[in-house]
Amino acid sequence: MEKLNQVLLQRYLSRIEEPLILDIDATVIESHKSIAYTTYKMFPGFTPIIGHINGGYAIHQEFRQGNVAPAEGNLDFFKSCKAQLPHGRKISY
């Protein structure tokens, strides 16, 4: 899926010239599976994190347990997002 996403991302980025803005967003998903941990909202689930570029294109994602803080590992996540960009493009904000 990541290879397909890179192809689509390259097509998307070839059409825009504005600065690239990365928005990192964690989402809480309630789940009562036996492997789910309690989230900060005090119910069992997961907290995946998604990196969106310029208004919504998902550049990278990471599935996380519910007890993982949304800010944990943000630098590594940012580096993974940056690695998805084609040569010559960089994140501005």
In tens, the pLDDT along 1-54 reads 778 888 888 888 888 888 999 999 999 999 999 999 999 999 999 999 999 998
Q: Which residues pair with 62 in a beta bridge?
A: 49
Using one digit for the tens of pLDDT, what is the confidence trace for 46-79?
Answer: 999 999 998 778 889 999 999 999 889 999 999 9
**Nearest Cα residue to 33 out of 41, 45, 48, 49:** 45
The C-alpha atoms of residue 53 and residue 74 are separated, in whole angstroms, by: 15
**Running DSSP on this structure, what letter comes out for residue 74?**
H
The C-alpha atoms of residue 93 and residue 84 are separated, in whole angstroms, by: 16
**Nearest Cα residue to 6 out of 93, 81, 90:** 81
